[in-house]
Structure 1
Amino acid sequence: MQSFVRSTLLATTVLASAAMGLTSAHAEDAAARDVPAVAAEEEDQGKTSVGTGARDRGDDILVTARRRNESSQEVPLAISVVGGDHIDSTGSFNVGRLQQLTPTLQYYSSNPRNTAVNIRGLGVPFGLTNDGIEQGVGIYVDDVYNSRVASATFDFLDVAQVEVLRGPQGTLYGKNTTAGAINITTNQPTFDFEGKAEVSIGNYNFKQAKAAISGPLSETLAARIAVSSTSRRGTIYNVVTQQHIQSQDNLGIRGQLLWKPTDTIDVTLAGDFSAQDANCCGSVYVRTGATQRALNRQFEALAAAQGYEPASRNPFDRLTDLDTPLKAKNKIGGASVRVKWELGEGTLTSITAWRFWDWDPSNDRDFTGLPIVSKSQNPSQQDQYTQELRYNYSSDKIDFVVGAFGFYQRIDTQGTEQHGSASSRWNINPGTNAQVPPGSSGCASTSLACTPSVLDGLVAYNTQYLKNTSAALFGQLSWHVTPELTLQPGVRVNYDKKDGFYQRRVFDGAGNEILVTGPSSPIKTAQLAIFTPQEISPRFSDWNFSYDFTASYKVATDVLVYATYAKSFKSGGINQNGVPVDASNNPILASATVKPEGVNHYEAGIKTQFWDRRATFNLSIFRTDIKNYQANVNNGQFGVLRGYLANAGAVRSQGVEADFSVRPSERFNAYVNGAYTDATYRKFVDAPCPPELSGGTTVTAGQTPAAAGTPGLSPANCDISGQRLPGVSKFSFSFGAEANAPVTLLGKEGEAYIGYDGSVRSNFSSNPSPSAYTWVKGYDLHNFRAGFRTEAGFDVYGWVRNAFNQNYFEQLFVGPGNTGLIAGLPGDPRTWGFTIKSNF
């Protein structure tokens, strides 16, 4: 059905684009005859949308960061604005692509569920997702909060612009966000008939179609509907299944009804649905690194003992041999009602929303072609309900926003983790119950390691649910003390409550349930070392009080300076994926909850425009100190494969950000954005150790750990204070330019143009505890486009992304079991294609 819908959408969009292209010349001529010059200029300025170097022709970029329309240069806040036109022209059709335009935004995704969106290195712990904590970067679509970061993996659908707000936003936004917010605004229904259609094709069998239509249904009712479809062949070839993986297969639809019974009341009913069904998500072999495991139990020896060789030792051959069927079915959607009522100098707004998320995966968690972990899947279903009520008031002397927010979320997950015939040899010490020559890669026939049935078929069934409730009152006041000086205090009172449940039941290959209690045996001990039954019901609840204060001063008409202090909190959490066990295989209940993060944030900046507003330069410096930082850790136990949460003592992120754009004429514009980010653990004395300090026998009192990468004794934990947070590049830049010239093509007046967008980032750690084996080298990407467009909205262009075919990694992964295996996810190779689009 999804394939039929996609094919139909593609065909109709091609026809619509062509038809509109043929008629656009007539529309352009009519517009030139009928619209006065001043009106045409105002209309053109109304289309301004991008603050990072797109074709904005007006002086101001309007944003809603403070829940009212105002120029981005008037907002005392570090903010990046990317408009719909620039999103389309650069191929930035989701948040992942957007990070190439906004240097302080970090996006990592091994699959839709395990997606992290951070700002300045802060937001959510890097690694596998845990439902029991909040995200520090709020994602809002038309004022509706999306609690799942998985929503960031979907295509943007009929987007007008995206605002990336840096720093705590809790006194203005519904959900408390300690690192920032991504505010996505879609195009709204109109009482003038309009539409647009866009089709793209490219290599790797890339096909994308987008269409939207809007217009009146009556004098008081207008509607808008938008659809989008993206498909692409995968970029990695699986030699086992003989299929390409890491494909794209997205389909989305969004509909809106606007009822305007009076000039002072707007009611918008919106609904959307998106689905993904990609052949995804996998990895490739990257390298091995020496651990402290016995040499005959490290990757090379184990692989040789089982006659295994990776599909390729060169990760950029883009070959894998994962033997577990991959699946990443993902559905997300919902409905909302937004009511805006103008009351005198203010506006009362109510947003009522319901969202759902269904996740149906299948993964290969051993990262090899061996049947070690034969099944790993944790399907999940979520419903969330939100209600926000706020009042905005504006006058010459004061502006303010006051609001209330309620949130309820229910998540149910049913997990299955199963081991295969190669697991015994891979995970059981070959010396168990047998005499094996030291350093031997083989094992004695009497060893449990040489008995596949010990772990073959061993399965853990995980059942869990989470009930998450939150309520808040918030407000922010802007007091214009003088025309130049504004003081802006804000407050938030927040309550959070989380009730969770986690149960793991374990069965052997014959279907017999394995219990911690009862008679012991060597086989049972080996099985419990892989999966340990446990049942916990973690709970957390707490109140917190947040506040911020900003002072801004207009030094000149186009020069604004500001300084901000914010005291914020990120709610405490619970471990929803199981917790480690002690020597008696009992769950360590102290690990079931994590403390709230306490955030102290300092920021100062300057926003300037000069050269008759042809040039814009903004600069900000910041420092964020976090106490009890919520870190994602993994201690190597298969029973907590998905990781668990712990509190690092302290974290600090500080740095400098600069944005510059220039448009000397209608024929040329350019931009450069840069960031220096120093994000480090200030105190984390009991962190999990990196692989080079893991895998050996844990030291006891009086013993000394072996050197890194040397088999022997391993530390129980490691002090990583002062080391860099994962996923953060110290330096990152984005830059680009576009030039155009007037031409007449096929009797149509327009302009030919050529554009370039590039990005550079320095190296970053791809493991929560920095490891010599998991540093991702810095890389640079370069994208080009060239085409022809008219004022009537017809546009046809060719594009190439990663033009120089840079080989780079998006992430590196540490294989389970401390064998030294490092797997990775290569970034997209060079892609190219053509796009045709038209508006009417």
Structure 2
Amino acid sequence: MILCVLMIRCSTLALSAAFLTLPVAASAQQATEDRTDIRVIGRRDPEGLLPDQTEPKAVSAISADFIVKQAPTLNAFQLVNLLPGANVASSDPYGLSTSSSLTLRGLGQDEIGVLLEGAPQNDIGYYYAYPSQFADPGNIRQIALAQGSVDIDSPTVGGAGGLLSLTLDDPKATRQALVDLSLGSYSLRRVFARVDTGTIGTTGLKAFVSYSNTRADNWRGAGYDTRQHVDAKLLREWGNGDRASLALSYNDANSASYPSPTLADWQAQGRGFNHDARYSPGNTNYWRLYRAPFRNLYASAPVHVALNDRLTLDSTTYLQFGYGNSPYGTQLATTGNFLGNEELTQPIALPGTVDGVATVLGNYTGDQMRTGNVSKLTLRAGVHRITAGLWFDYGTDRVAQSYTAVDADGNPADRWGYRSKAIRTADGRLLAYENQRTVTVTKAFFLADSITLGPRLTVDAGFKGVGLLRNGRNYLPGPQTRVRRDSFTALPRAAVHYAIDDRQQLFANITTNFRTPNEFTLYDSYDGGVVSTRGTNALKNEYSVSQELGYRYIGPNLSASVTGFHYKFRNRQLATVIDVGGAQVNSTLNAGGQTSYGVDAEIDYRPARGVSVYVSGEYLRARIDDDLPVGGDYLPTRGKRAVSSPTVQIAGGGTYDDGRLFGSIAGKYVGRQYATFINDESIKGYATLDVAVGVHMADWFGGKRTDFRVNAINVTDPHVLGGVQAVSTNAGDVIGPRGTVISGYAPAYYIGSGAAVAATVSRGF
């Protein structure tokens, strides 16, 4: 309790000092005689691939020098596609659609923590992160990918897959502006403008704000995407490394939802598996019924303050708001309806009814708010660097699956799915298939010690305790009204880092991670007035133990790393998508135990100034440890390959920049991926290739930055399935060892995106 009060007071004082009473006195420089630092002989990676790392774990990263050469619309998942273990499935070449996924070492994006300026970006209910909502690439200084674990102070739940951290560019010290204009395939139009204030008077404050507006037609099928985005950052630095900032990121998008085929659909229709371009009465597959509008605001206020020469405070306060709809087309009858387990005896009024049936927009809306703070104190005492901290997170998620009227031309009366405009029962209640509100409260504490044992050896040990409470209310009539789930998980860890010399490092670590079942599993689902799926709070948390052993070399012209890893899971939870009343709803399957091991490697060779050649790869062996219980029988899954876990991935690329001409190339091969626990369905391996060329023209236009570049995305245009969108236990019927016929159901897949070309002109002022 004392620690909590101290951190809250210190955090408040630091923010006040940074923004209200500037300037402040410089803090004393942190003492260095308490610890011998290792000096790494290398140089800044000028091409933006494989920046220097000294962490005792696997970490890969790309920086702005690489990002600026890529297509300006690409999202964070697409940008890290070259890094070891990153398996990216993207439904559109520009990264605008919400239909995309990222797996790391075979672990899905609901197992990957995502931070922007230290603030969590994952959905609080389902743990997904949506990269099309993240900051614009032009404002990102670095994207770091820790493939094996999250940091002990990371405010994330469920990080067995690793941590994706986005760091925004700091505001410039001088006043300046930048404008990007892009045109491309599928009628792409994009404008991006950023203004930096420079240092504002004598306050020491500096800031930037940017705005982007993007529109592109769907690359397959009817429809188009729109995205408006604002990023801003306010920064104050003082003393020796003290700093406080406020970062904002706002996104307003209306995105296409590309349909995901089964294997049979793909074989029959290929890329022709799309929503319909024209509406006819009774058509529930019309493209306007599948456009997903979302608005999100993320705010983060990280602070770093040296309280004295041995004690520092780091605190990040964050706030998020988000509302969106993932709609679909469906039909309703005026009679024979149920609300939960209650039969509606009075007909409901449905515009456009024909023979008692009307085509409507099925809404799946989510209204989220999330706020929290993570703070830590770091004390240097002799050979020890002791860290103690707290994390508190409060989030609400209001989910409703309602219905909205559609006019004679197929246009929804309200594409946002607002409850106030949705169809009502005869007595005025909201007609909903699902209607609930969940409050999630996360409390965590952590304690760690980094011990310097000589000039080259460091040993880390830490412990994190996380308590997660869900309280919810089911607003549908029925036996369930309130839900509650409370759990606590202990997460010990340890790591060793040894500097062989000034260029070579060895590291090893052991970490633990957990993931609670998502909120959907708590609630009853109804079909025809009967509970079809009973909610439960008895599902066990996933728990994993992972180890890494790695070698890292950092030289003036060559950098490389190789990491062996091993995972052991209990109650492995796999995210999938299920059909609930026509809506595609995120759900969880318990796959029992799982064992994974493999090797990640990457190398960056810089033979000359401005030239970088990069190669990465992964070998992964992931196997299910248990037979899966189904009813009174078992599905024989022991020893089967884990889903979405390609055995081999290989990536290669490079960049070139001689001050006049520049460009990049990036190729990726992803091996076969299984989509069912029983391994009776899979997709073949495939390869992609992106190319960029450009020219710097500043000396032709007054010395101000003026660049022109052309990005060719997925230039080989392979007609492939790019990833697994919804896994299943078995695609075909299977006879269990006790003689039960276990019925199968087909998995669904992402169709790999087509080729696209975008041209961009950038001009600085």
1:329 Cα deviation after fit: 0.4
Taking structure 1 as reference, are residues 166 and 796 closer, same or farther at Cα in structure 2, changes over 3 Å only? same
The 5 Å alignment of 1:358-757 reads: 358-364=323-329, 375-393=361-379, 397-416=383-402, 460-504=432-476, 535=480, 537-571=482-516, 573-576=518-521, 578-579=523-524, 585-586=530-531, 589=534, 591-610=536-555, 613-632=556-575, 638=581, 642=585, 644-686=587-629, 718-741=635-658, 750-757=659-666
Q: Deviations over 1:443-483 (max 9, x none)?
A: xxxxxxxxxxxxxxx97531011110011111332212011
- 3-state SS, counterpart of residue 313 of structure 1: helix
Is the contact made by 1:799 and 1:834 (CA closer than 8 Å) also made in structure 2?
A: yes
1:239-318 matches, within 5 Å, as 244-245=222-223, 247-260=224-237, 265-278=242-255, 280-283=256-259, 287-288=263-264, 313-317=268-272
1:800 paired with 2:712, answer yes
Residue in 2 that maps onto 1:75: 55
Aligned-residue identity in percent:
16
What SS is found at the alignment partner of 1:288?
A: helix
Q: Secondary structure at the match of 1:161?
A: strand
1:418-458 residue CA offsets vs partner (Å, 9 max, x unmatched): 999xxxxxxxxxxxxxxxxxxxxxxxxxxxxxxxxxxxxx9
Q: Any conservation in 2 of the 1:404–1:474 contact (CA below 8 Å)?
A: yes
Residue from 301, 307, 317 that aligns with 1:337: 301
Q: CA deviation at 1:84?
A: 2.0
Aligned to 2:313: 348
Cα separation, 1, equivalents of 2:671 and 2:596: 16
The structure-2 alpha-carbon separation of the partners of 1:256 and 1:567, relative to structure 1 and needing over 3 Å to count, comes to closer
Asked if structure 2 preserves the Cα contact closer than 8 Å seen for 1:49 and 1:82, the reply is: no
Q: Distance in 1 between matches of 2:486 and 2:503?
A: 46
The residue that corresponds to 1:231 in the other structure is 215
Alignment pair present for 1:146 and 2:89: no
Shift of 1:188: 1.6
**Contact 1:751–1:790 (Cα < 8 Å) also in 2:** yes
- Answer whether contact 2:325 2:365 (CA < 8 A) is retained: yes
1:143 aligned partner, one-letter code? G
Instruction: Return the alpha-carbon distance in structure 2 between the equivalents of residues 346 and 809 of structure 1.
Output: 53
**TM-fit CA distance, 1:614:** 0.6
Q: 1:822 and 1:121, CA in 2 relative to 1: closer, same or farther beyond 3 A?
A: closer
User: d(CA) in 2 for partners of 1:718 and 1:810?
Assistant: 27
C-alpha deviation, 1:327, in angstroms: 1.8
- Once the two structures are superposed, residues 539-597 of structure 1 have per-residue CA deviations (whole angstroms, 9 ceiling, x without a partner) of 21122221111112122221111111123333455435745789994466574442112
Distance across 2 between alignment mates of 1:815 and 1:477: 41
User: In the alignment, what sits opposite 1:98?
Assistant: 79
Per-residue deviation, 1:488: 1.0
1 CA distance for matches of 2:515 and 2:81?
27
Residue matched to 1:511: none
- Aligned twin of 2:21: none
Which 5+ residue runs of structure 1 have no aligned equivalent? 1-43, 53-60, 62-70, 125-134, 238-243, 290-309, 421-457, 506-532, 689-700, 702-715, 742-749
Over 3 Å counting, the alpha-carbon distance change for 1:815 and 1:256 in structure 2 is: closer
Contact preservation (8 Å) 1:285, 1:314: no
Aligned to 1:431: none
User: How far is the alpha carbon of 1:169 from its aligned partner?
Assistant: 1.9
CA distance in 2, matches of 1:558, 1:99: 25
**Distance (whole Å) between structure 2 residues aligned to residue 119 and residue 572 of structure 1:** 20
Residue 796 of structure 1 aligns to a residue whose secondary structure is strand
Cα displacement (A) at 1:277: 1.0
- The worse-fitting range, judged by mean Cα deviation, of 186-195 and 570-579 is 570-579
C-alpha change, 1:821 and 1:598, in structure 2 (3 Å) is: closer
Bigger Rg over Cα: 1
Q: Distance in 1 between matches of 2:726 and 2:382?
A: 58
| CA-CA distance at 1:601 after TM superposition | 0.9
- Please name the residue that 1:173 is paired with: 154
Q: Is the 8 A contact 1:393 1:400 kept in 2?
A: yes
Q: Where does residue 694 of structure 1 map in the other structure?
A: none
Kindly provide the CA deviation profile for residues 649-674 of structure 1, in whole angstroms up to 9, marking residues without a partner as x. 21222111000110011152200011
- Unaligned 5+ segments in structure 2 are 1-41, 277-284, 332-356, 407-429, 699-703, 732-742
Q: Where in structure 2 are the equivalents of 1:18-29 lying within 5 Å? A: none
C-alpha contact (below 8 Å) 2:627/2:634 kept by paired residues: no
- The TM-score, its normalising length taken from structure 2, stands at 0.75
Query: Offset of 1:390 from its aligned partner?
Result: 1.6
Which residue among 200, 205, 219 is the counterpart of 1:217?
200
Query: Is the CA contact 2:498–2:507 (under 8 Å) kept in the aligned structure 1?
Result: yes
Q: Secondary structure at the match of 1:471?
A: strand
Q: How much has 1:782 moved relative to structure 2? A: 0.9
Amino acid at match of 2:513: S
Name the CA distance, whole Å, in 2 between partners of 1:181 and 1:559: 24
Q: CA deviation at 1:142?
A: 0.7
CA separation of 1:570/1:282 partners in 2, compared to 1, >3 Å: closer, same or farther?
Answer: closer
Alignment equivalent of 1:136, drawn from 100, 103, 111: 111
Match among 180, 189, 194 for residue 207 of structure 1:
189
Give yes or no for the alignment of 1:784 onto 2:696: no
Root-mean-square deviation (CA, aligned residues, Å) is 3.7
Q: Offset at 1:119?
A: 2.1
Q: Distance in 2 between matches of 1:151 and 1:825?
A: 16
Deviations 1:581-621 (A, max 9, x none): 899944665744421122111110000134xx211120001
In the alignment, the residues of structure 1 paired with residue 705 and residue 438 of structure 2 have an alpha-carbon distance, to the nearest angstrom, of 48
Match of 1:188 in 2: 170
1:822 & 1:97 partners in 2: Cα distance? 23
SS in 2 for 1:683: coil
Distance 1:639 1:326 in 2: 12
Taking the aligned partners of 1:226 and 1:628, their CA distance within structure 2 comes to: 44
CA contact (8 A) 1:348 1:391 kept: yes
CA distance in 1, matches of 2:687, 2:575: 28
Which of 722, 728, 732 is matched with 1:810 structurally?
Answer: 722
Query: 1:286 offset after TM fit, Å?
Result: 5.8
- For residues 238 and 55 of structure 2, the distance between their equivalents in structure 1, rounded to whole angstroms, comes to 32
Residue type of the partner of 1:277? N
What is the CA-CA distance between 1:346 and the residue it aligns to?
Answer: 4.3
Higher mean C-alpha displacement, 600-609 vs 572-581: 572-581
Change (3 A) 1:249 1:721: farther
In structure 2, relative to structure 1, the CA distance for the partners of 1:400 and 1:595 (3 Å cut) is: same
Aligned to 2:48, which of 47, 50, 71? 50
Q: Which amino acid aligns with 2:229?
A: G
Give 1 or 2: higher helix fraction.
1
**Aligned residues of 1:578 and 1:639 also touching (Cα < 8 A):** no
The residue matched to 1:96 in structure 2 has which SS? helix
Partner of 2:353: none
Write the distance in 1 (CA, Å) between the matches of 2:290 and 2:604. Answer: 44
Cα distance in 1 for residues equivalent to 2:666 and 2:619: 20
TM-superposed deviation, 1:184 = 0.5
1:556 counterpart SS class: coil
Alignment partners' CA distance in 1, 2:88 and 2:329: 22
Between 204-213 and 103-112, report the one with greater CA deviation.
Answer: 103-112
Whether the aligned pair in 2 keeps the contact of 1:758 and 1:780 (CA below 8 Å) is yes
How many Å separate the matches in 2 of 1:634 and 1:273? 27
Task: Give the letter for the 2:184 counterpart.
Answer: G
